[in-house]
Amino acid sequence: MIRTSFKHLRRTPGKALLFVLLLAGATMLLIFGAQLLVQTTQKIDAAEAQFTTIATVEQVSTGTKNNMFYDKCQSFYSSYTEMYDDPVSLDALNFEGANYINPPENRPYYLSEVEGKRITGGVAQADHIIEFTALEDQKEADQHIRARVEKVHFEALHTSGAGKEDPALQVGEEITICQHYNTLDRGGPTPIEAGRRYIAHFMNWSAISVDCEQDPDVTEYVIVGAPYTTQCDIHGQPVESGLLGGKKRYRADEVNEEFYESGMWEAWQRKIEYEEKGIRNVLPVIPTNSLQLLPAYHDKKTYLQSGREITAEEFQSGARVCMVSYDFALNNILSVGDKLDISMLYAEYGYEPDLRRYRMNVPEPLNAEGEFYEPFWNGEYEVVGIYQFYDADAAEDGVYELTKDTIIVPSASIEASDEDNITGVGPLQGDYCTFQIENGTASEFNELLYAHVPNMSGLTVTYKDNGYSEVMSGLQKTRLNAALLFAVGLLASIAIVALLLYFFIVREKKRTAIERSLGMSRRQCRTSLLAGIMVLSLLGTALGSGLGALLLNWKPPQETAPEPAPTGLVQEIKTEDYAGFDTSYSLWARNRNTEEDLAVESLRTVELAIYLAAPVALLALILLLAELLVSRSLKIEPILLLSGETE
């Protein structure tokens, strides 16, 4: 009976071929649309997992205050101070409907000591702590007076690049003293009277102004400090109670009976002890609740050089793990798995460390009581990851909030308050104040933010999604096109199946009646009708599936660079002549987030299931409908089929 079915197909080769091609085209369109829809959906899911959206919060300056003074030593002295309104509390940002992934955090950096470790780089400073007797009165900051050295408590000599070493001071030696650092914006000069004894911290200075009456060949000693504190509360208000609270930094203290009874001498002794030890080997530790909240990490200015990242579970539980920079690890011969004993001394909010020479910005070591700060937290942390900067040149100055020595730890791992160790509070800074929201919700969130926070005019909020909006926009358009293609393919397939059944089943009623009249059984008639249509369907769907696979896996040919001529010389190849480059070993390529980056191996591999499912589904549909139509025809008596009348 199968032979009979094929014989009937050979009588109408054109119609059979047409239906094979139409069915192949519909199958190809159906597969192409379905595959593209599945792949685009997978890419969208991958984008949601790979992209994050954070916002940086920065306080807006209300203006700049320019302080300008004239002195003979520095000609004009200027200082610029940015003015800010009262800082906005982060509590105001925790409004109903915010739905943060990671709520706002204003990260401090904790200047910390790490036992047995050293920081990269360093600074040199020539200074002295001496007691002296004034030989002249001094009232003005740029006034030079003579003084006699009575005692040298501390001295750090410095050799210049020309090989000239600063001279050591001797008891009884006369020196020239100036207070030109003690300008009005710093509290003004300390009144010094002839014949009285004082103690001060000095730095060597050479006259640089033609207006200065000092002989340039004579070393000038400038007052640069005294025991002083920057201790403040979390709102930035100075802690004025205690021995040093409210005292200015640039001053000289008179050495008299009150000096010893007040406890100021003990404070000076601690300062001398601190200077003798050298500037403390402190480095920044940044606590955070997520790596993605760090702008340098979120913006992919760094990458994981070895080890692993701190996990979300470790951030939440407060595990004592950390990540360090490659430079710090190299300088201290550290590797993943090593332990660091970290003592956190100073908490700075809103101030960025000098990214190259931040040791110059180490806070004063004494609190308001004139005592050394005790570490507010000490813990042993395991190094689980080492990060490295993409740009080696940028790493010299640091990137955003990270320096070459910054250690990253989970905020929850610090189980003590820093309230008694705060040495500075500044305005909200974008590198330190961030939060994370759901991808694609920046516009809606911004509207809620301005609706719930009344003083947003004092803040600048910048949203960073690493190109998520652009990538997602393209993917959404692609998915819509894929859905349309799939719908068109589905409708075309249904229409072609209907035509196929009409021409090869419905219009073959007379053939069925004749075959039954000639003695063929219902089973034989069913085989005769179904065999041909199923062969056509099998050929069409198989061809369509193959064409769909070729179309989805086809790539346009890329022009390749010609082989160099065998001259033995390296020929220059102009890069603009070729569109394709291998970025496997390019660090910058790791910083790209595009749709192509989402094409992971599972997306590049064509889904075999779709190539099988589409043809099988069409074949099953054709077989089911054909069986129903054939069964209906076989129930009708042959005489009725021949006469065109049906029940």
Q: What is the pLDDT of residue 573?
A: 27
CA-nearest of 464, 459, 384 to 53 is: 464
C-alpha 275: how far from its chain's center?
Answer: 38
- Does the pLDDT at position 458 exceed 90? no
Q: What is the pLDDT of residue 436?
A: 94
- Does the pLDDT at position 149 exceed 90? yes
Lowest mean pLDDT among 412-421, 451-460, 554-563: 554-563
Measure the CA–CA gap between 562 and 495, rounded to whole angstroms: 51
Backbone phi, then psi, for 165, in 5-degree steps?
A: -95, 140
Q: What is the pLDDT of residues 177-233, one digit of tens each?
A: 888 777 766 777 889 999 999 999 988 765 444 445 555 566 788 888 899 999 999
Long-range CB pairs of 444-450 (<8 Å, 24+ gap) are 445/55, 445/98, 448/95, 448/97, 448/98, 449/93, 449/95
Is 350 within 8 Å of 424 (Cβ atoms)? yes
Comparing 407 with 511, the larger pLDDT belongs to: 407
Q: What is the pLDDT of residue 630?
A: 67
Q: What is the pLDDT of residues 228-263, one digit of tens each?
A: 999 999 888 899 888 998 888 889 999 999 999 999
Q: What is the pLDDT of residues 26-74, one digit of tens each?
A: 778 887 777 778 778 777 777 777 788 999 998 888 777 766 655 556 5
CA-nearest of 522, 548, 542, 561 to 641 is: 522
Total number of residues shown for the chain: 647
Q: What is the pLDDT of residue 603?
A: 45
Distances (CA, A) of 410 to 114, 220, 393: 17, 48, 28
Percent of the chain with pLDDT over 90: 28
Lowest mean pLDDT among 365-369, 495-499, 627-631: 627-631
- Does the pLDDT at position 584 exceed 50? no
Measure the CA–CA gap between 40 and 402, rounded to whole angstroms: 36
Percent of the chain with pLDDT over 70: 69
Q: What is the pLDDT of residue 136?
A: 93
Q: What is the pLDDT of residue 421?
A: 95
Written as six digits, the tokens of 530 are 């179904």
Average pLDDT of 508-514?
62
Which pTM does this prediction carry?
Answer: 0.72
Q: What is the pLDDT of residues 327-354, one digit of tens each?
A: 899 989 999 999 999 999 999 998 766 5
Which residue type occupies 312? A
- Does the pLDDT at position 606 exceed 80? no
Instruction: Work out the mean pLDDT of the chain and round it to a whole number.
Output: 77
- Which letter does DSSP use for residue 466 in this model? T
Q: What is the pLDDT of residue 217?
A: 64
Q: What is the CA radius of gyration of the chain?
A: 41
For residues 563, 567, 571, 573, the Cα torsion angle rounded to the nearest 10 degrees is -20
Q: What is the pLDDT of residue 578?
A: 30
Is 581 within 8 Å of 575 (Cβ atoms)? yes
499 exposed, middle or buried (CB, 10 Å; 0-12, 13-18, 19+)?
middle
Average pLDDT of 80-85?
72
Backbone phi, then psi, for 435, in 5-degree steps?
A: -150, 165
Comparing 263 with 601, the larger pLDDT belongs to: 263
Written as six digits, the tokens of 469 are 């909006």
Which helix (H) or strand (E) segment holds residue 394: the answer is: helix 392-397
Lowest mean pLDDT among 308-322, 450-464, 523-537, 601-615: 601-615
Q: What is the pLDDT of residue 187?
A: 73
